[in-house]
Amino acid sequence: MKLDILAIGVHPDDVELGCSGVLINEILRGKTAGIVDLTEGELGTRGTVETRYAESAKAAKIIGVQVRENLKMRDGFFRNDEEHKLKLIRVIRKFRPEVVIGNILDDRHPDHGRAGHLIADACFLSGLMKIETNDDQGNPQEKWRPKFVLHYMQDWYHEPDLLIDISDVFEQRMESVKAYTTQFHVSSSGDEGPQTYISTPDFLDSIIARARMLGKRIGVRYAEGFITEKKIGISNLDALLLRET
C-alpha cells in the first residue's frame, strides 16, 4: 500500500501529541496516511501494553489513518544501529511515503531524540539500492527515499522551520490525544495510577498553549510546528498564509 504521509512515533501517543492536526488536515484533503509506532510504550508508568494498543487504535480511528503498525522495538533501550535501521527501512519501502513526519532530534525523553535520528537515518538509507531488504512475504523490496522528513515538536521548545495551520481540526486533534485515557488527565476519577509528568491537567493545558502560541506566530488560532534539515520550497506565493502578524 502506497501512502502519501507516514507519521512515526517511538511511543504510541507521540504522533497524536506532535502532528495529529496535520494528519487530520491532510486526510480531509484526500491524502493517504499511516502511523508506525516504534515501541509498545511498555515502560509507561500508567496503563499497560494492552490498554495502550486499545487507546492507539481508538486514536487512529479519530485521526482517520489507513494503517497503524507497531515495530515492537524495546521502549527505552532500542538503538540507532543496523538492526533497527533495517527494520525501519523495510517499513519505509513498504509504504513508500512522500513525506515522513517523525520524532524530534533532541528532547527531554532520550528515546525521542534517538528515534528522531533513527528515522532520519533510515529515510536516507532507504534510498540506497545496495541495501537489500525483503518484504513480509520474502520478496525483495525496491529502494525508496521520502522527499521530505519533518520532525514534530515534543516536550522542549524548538524554533520551528515550518508552521502549519490546524485551527479547523483542533478539537479532533485533542480528541485523538484524549483517546489515551490512561496517559493523560481525561477524567478526574484519579484511579488510573500514579501521577506522572504527562498525566496532570497542566500537561494538557500546555499542549493547548503551545498550539495557540505557534498559531499566533502565523496569524491563526492553532498551529503545529516542525523542524526540517532541508530547505522548504514552495511553487508559488499562494502557499503563503497572508495574515497580519
Q: Which CB atom, from 150 or from 220, has the smaller least distance to Zn ion? A: 150
Q: Which CB atom, from 14 or from 165, has the smaller least distance to Zn ion? A: 14
Q: Which CB atom, from 11 or from 178, has the smaller least distance to Zn ion? A: 11
Instruction: Write the CB contacts of 63 (distance below 8 Å, at least 6 apart in sequence).
Output: 16, 20, 23, 24, 27, 33, 35, 172, 176
Retrieve residue 52's grid coordinates: 495502550
Q: Which CB atom, from 5 or from 115, has the smaller least distance to Zn ion? A: 115
The yes or no reply on residue 14 touching Zn ion (CB under 5 A) is yes
d(CA 36, CA 92): 10
State the number of binding residues for Zn ion (CB under 5 A): 2
State the nearest-atom distance from the C-beta of 39 to Zn ion, in Å: 9
Task: Find the part of the chain contacting Zn ion (CB under 5 A) among 11-19, 72-80, 189-197, 235-243.
Answer: 11-19
Rounded to the nearest 10 degrees, the angle between the axes of helix 110-125 and helix 82-95 is 60
- Asked if residues 89 and 131 have their Cβ atoms less than 8 Å apart, the reply is yes
Q: Which CB atom, from 96 or from 116, has the smaller least distance to Zn ion? A: 116
State the nearest-atom distance from the C-beta of 112 to Zn ion, in Å: 6
State the nearest-atom distance from the C-beta of 219 to Zn ion, in Å: 30
Q: Which CB atom, from 14 or from 55, has the smaller least distance to Zn ion? A: 14
State the nearest-atom distance from the C-beta of 64 to Zn ion, in Å: 22
Task: Find the part of the chain contacting Zn ion (CB under 5 A) among 7-15, 85-93, 122-130, 178-186.
Answer: 7-15
State the nearest-atom distance from the C-beta of 42 to Zn ion, in Å: 12
State the nearest-atom distance from the C-beta of 130 to Zn ion, in Å: 33
Phi-psi region of 184 (alpha: psi -120 to 50; beta: other; left: phi over 0): beta
The yes or no reply on residue 165 touching Zn ion (CB under 5 A) is no
The yes or no reply on residue 11 touching Zn ion (CB under 5 A) is yes
What single-letter amino acid sits at 27?
I
Cα 1 to chain centroid distance, Å, stands at 19
Residue nearest to Zn ion (CB): 11
x/- map, 113-152, Zn ion, by CB under 5 A: ----------------------------------------
The yes or no reply on residue 40 touching Zn ion (CB under 5 A) is no
- 181-240 positions binding Zn ion, by CB under 5 A: none
Interface contacts to Zn ion, rule CB under 5 A: 11, 14
